[in-house]
């Protein structure tokens, strides 16, 4: 189970590397491609299926000049063929000429494919500072 967790952690890092490099091919390699995959960018509605998700990354990468992540509080729960990761993303981005720093909370779910762990869900949302802060 420990090895599984290490592999999942690596798959999670791979996803953020693809994100930081604004690399759609690497993003494609990090994800499963079935109809069952889902993605929620902060404030966006749910995207279902790889074609819609791929298009969203293309659109985000096209409007982003630079993106730097600090990923913290990475927590992994694994089962045989599915794993759930939560983490916080501190994002320093330059979008349309403006620098912004954003705190995001992400749930990332992976499935074990023959080639290794692949993302099947990314749910990211802003931390606004609710009653629990």
Contact residues: its own copies, CB under 8 A: 36, 38, 40-48, 52, 56, 59, 73, 75, 77, 79-84, 86, 88, 105, 107, 109, 111, 120-121, 123, 125-133
Q: How far is the CB of 29 from its own copies (least distance, A)?
A: 20
* Residue number, 92 or 95, with CB nearest to its own copies: 95
What are φ and ψ of residue 115, in 5° steps?
-85, 0
The size of the chain, in residues, is: 133
Question: Which of helix, strand or coil describes residue 127?
Answer: coil
* Residue number, 23 or 56, with CB nearest to its own copies: 56
8 A C-beta contact, residue 107 and residue 123: yes
Interatomic CA distance for residues 69 and 100, integer angstroms: 12
* Residue number, 20 or 56, with CB nearest to its own copies: 56
Q: How far is the CB of 31 from its own copies (least distance, A)?
A: 14
Question: Which of helix, strand or coil describes residue 16?
Answer: helix
């Amino acid at each position: 189970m420990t090895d599984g967790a290490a592999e999942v952690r690596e798959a999670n890092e791979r996803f953020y590397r693809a994100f930081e490099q604004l690399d759609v091919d690497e993003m494609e390699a990090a994800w499963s491609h079935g109809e069952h995959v889902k993605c929620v960018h902060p404030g966006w509605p749910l995207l279902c299926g790889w074609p819609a998700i791929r298009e969203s990354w293309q659109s985000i990468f096209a409007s982003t000049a630079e993106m730097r992540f600090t990923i913290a509080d990475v927590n992994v729960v694994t089962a045989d063929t599915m794993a759930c990761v939560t983490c916080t993303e501190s994002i320093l981005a330059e979008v349309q000429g403006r620098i912004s720093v954003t705190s995001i909370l992400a749930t990332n779910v992976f499935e074990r494919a023959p080639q290794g762990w692949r993302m099947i869900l990314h749910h990211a949302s802003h931390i606004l500072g609710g009653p629990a802060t």
